Amino acid sequence: MSETLEKDAGMRAPAGERIAKRLARAGLCSRRDAERWIAEGRVSVNGRVLATPAVTVGDDDRIAVDGKPIPEAERTRLWRYHKRAGLVTTHRDPQGRPTVFDRLPEDMPRVISVGRLDLNSEGLLLLTNDGALARRLELPAAGWVRRYRVRVHGEIDAARLAALEKGVTIDGVRYGSIKAALDRQQGSNAWLTVSLQEGKNREIRRVMEYLGWPVTRLIRVAYGPFQLGSLPEGAAEEVPGKVVKEQLGPAKPAKAKDNTKVKHADHRRTP
Query: Which are the catalytic amino acids?
Result: 118
Alpha-helical regions (H) of the chain: 19-25, 31-39, 131-138, 158-163, 203-210, 241-248
**CA angle, 213 as apex, 211 and 219 as ends, to 5°?**
115
Q: What is the rounded distance in angstroms from the CA atom of residue 158 to the CA atom of residue 165?
A: 12
Closest CA to 224 of 198, 250, 192: 198
Looking at residue 98, what DSSP letter applies?
Answer: -
CA distance 268 to 17: 36
Q: With DSSP H G I counted as helix, E B as strand and the rest as coil, what are the percentages for the chain, rounded to 5?
A: 20, 30, 50
Please tell me the distance from the alpha carbon of residue 179 to that of residue 168, in angstroms, as a whole number.
Answer: 12
